[in-house]
Amino acid sequence: MDKKLKIYIGLLVFVLLGIIYIESVKPKEINWYPSYAAKHKIPYGTYVLHKEMPSLFPKKKVKDIHQNPYTFLKDSTNNGTYFFVDNALNFGEDEFSELLKFVKRGNNVFIATNGVHIDTLKTETSILTTSAFEEKAYQKMSNPIFGEIEYHFDRDFSKFYFSEVDTLNTTVLGELVVRNEKDSIISKKPNYIKVKHGKGNFYLHTFPQAFTNYNMLLNNNYEYVANVLSYISTPQKNETGATGGSNSRSTILWDAYYKTGKSGIASPMHYILSTPPLKWAYYIALIGVLFFIIFKGKRNQRLIPVITPLKNQTLAFTRTIANMYYEKSDHKNIAEHKINYFLEYIRVKYRLSTLKIDENFYKNVASRSGNSEEKIKDLFQKIKQIQSKSNITEEDLIALNKAIEDFKAYKNS
């Protein structure tokens, strides 16, 4: 063994020992993966909720369901409240048909997920956006019996709300409240509803994060979860005025099938990286291969092939999207996008808020852009007219585009 090889081996051992030391002393990273699995104690698992279900429903039995709803509900003797909590739920047509039959004969289904689009129940969600510089979102119950308490969840999340409901069969149970930096309410939208179907009900919630370990243990947010679930823990009255029997709603059917974080091993690599000894063996092997490539490469230099860089497809993509809108003749949609981009242009370039369009706003835009105040008023009058129409012509769209481009092209003399 020559001196040079000994140096290389010593360097490799030193690097490996350094990595082992760093890994052993550094704090374990928090896993924020949204698994929603009952066995996971990570922040976005549902271990706490699953453990507390018997205390939240003292008169009901909690049963874990590891089958998909289509297979489980084929047995019509299965009754209770089917409980779904996950990051996203996509039921198949036949599967949701079984859920409809399940509810129609007097059972309940509780679904908490980000975004719900159910044509059968005439229910659709959207994401709430505001123009506030700083905003905070709160969750609250609609019924005054719960008081006017608003619960805040401190991590960022998508603000889904119900933008379309069947007003004849839907009851709003909870709301999403958004406040600005002055603590004034700037928006209030429904995010928890009950939809009657047959003899049973669907309970739909757009904020599944509230039911995770982290949020249930944060401050007094567990009270919010208890309030939400109180609707399905209370016996419902049937058409005759009597409460439902024990067979129909005496069991909470906890869905353990539809979970973002599956209980099983997704791949061999997942198993290797989740087992510390195998993970270290894998990393050491990678480092050894890296050293081999470096030292071997010094002896055998190979020609590096010329790789043609990928073409910029941005322009082609833009043309494709533009042609789609043009072929559909959806002039109104194009105009709305054009207006939104123009308002964003004013906010970014001239540092002006577009929340309130008034005389003071016209003066500020005129002084900063160099355009005349009359020209700016005419432009925003066009925008207002287009926004008030349900459909516009191609000539209206061309006129709007020309007015905006003339505004941007103007330069101070």
Residue 326 has pLDDT above 50, yes or no: yes
pLDDT, residue 369, reads: 86
Torsion of CA 171, 55, 217, 192, to 10 degrees: -10
Domain spans in the chain, listed from the N-terminal domain onward:
3-27+267-299, 47-255, 314-409
What pLDDT sits at residue 412? Answer: 44
* Proportion of the chain above pLDDT 90, given as a percent: 41
DSSP states of 228-240: HHHHHHSPPB-TT
Cβ neighbours, 10 Å, residue 386:
19
Instruction: Report yes or no: 16 and 281 within 8 Å, Cβ to Cβ.
Output: no
Question: What is the structure's pLDDT at 208?
Answer: 95
User: Strand 151-152 and strand 135-141: pairing?
Assistant: antiparallel
pLDDT score of 249: 56
Residue 237's pLDDT is: 46
Q: 276: which 2 tokens?
A: 């510390």
Per residue in 31-57, is it b (16+ CB within 10 Å) or e — as a string? eeebbbbbebebbbbbbbbbebbeebb
How far CA 391 is from CA of 42, 385, 388, 397, 399, in Å, comes to 50, 11, 9, 10, 15
- In this prediction the pTM is 0.58
Assign a CATH topology to domain 47-255. Answer: Rossmann fold (3.40.50)
- H or E element, residue 138: strand 135-141
Sign of CA dihedral 216, 221, 222, 227: negative
* pLDDT tier, 197 (very low <50, low <70, confident <90, very high otherwise): very high
> What token pair was written down for 226?
């208890």
Sheet containing 123-127, strands listed edge to edge, beginning at the edge strand earlier in sequence: 117-118, 123-127, 160-164
How confident is the model at residue 242, as a pLDDT?
37
Q: Give the pair of three-digit tokens for residue 190.
A: 């429904």
**CA 409 → CA 362, 370, 403, distances in Å?**
18, 10, 10
Least confident segment among 17-31, 227-241, 277-291 = 227-241
Task: Kindly indicate the confidence band of residue 124, based on its pLDDT and cuts at 50, 70 and 90.
Answer: very high
pLDDT of residue 389: 86
More confident residue, 17 or 114: 114
Query: Given this model, what pLDDT does residue 203 score?
Result: 97
